[in-house]
A = this chain, B = another copy of it.
Amino acid sequence: MPPMRSEGALIERWRSLLTSYNEVAGHLERALSDEHGLTLSEFEILDRLVAQDCEKRRMQDLAADMYLSQSALSRAVARLEKHGLVARALCEADRRGVFVNLTEQGLARHTAARRTHLAILAEHLQPA
């Protein structure tokens, strides 16, 4: 059996994580939605697209370092495309794959939203 003494600490850390996450995520989602019309997931996708190099923009590559399920990612990208922030393109080398490319609008939106993002983090993410 695992040591009993660690259970309390384990739960405490989880509660702390849960509280911190919900505090920050709540404010972040509201702010991103109200000020920029973006879901947190949508912002995270844009954030990865501006950072990653061009070769790594297929759906599966996005999915690989995100927390979203395959279907949620697919729909989030569909929403972004519908609003003109990304463009999907067939991958010619492997026609099963789909490339996701940032548009000018998408880059601009991310740049604007990034300010809000940082402001909310500075305000609500505990320093330790």
- Residue interface bits A3-31, CB-to-B below 8 A is 1, else 0: 00011001101100111111111100000
List the number of copies, as a whole number: 2
Q: Does A54 contact B (CB under 8 A)?
A: no
Interface of A is mostly: helix
Q: How large is the interface on A (under 10, 10 to 19, 20 to 34, 35 or more residues)?
A: 20 to 34
A87-108 interface with B by 8 A CB criterion:
none
The reply to whether A26 and B67 contact each other, CB–CB distance below 8 Å, is yes
Q: Does A122 contact B (CB under 8 A)?
A: yes
Q: How many angstroms from the CA of A125 to the CA of B125 in the assembled complex?
A: 19
A18-55 interface with B by 8 A CB criterion:
18-26, 44
The reply to whether B121 and A14 contact each other, CB–CB distance below 8 Å, is yes
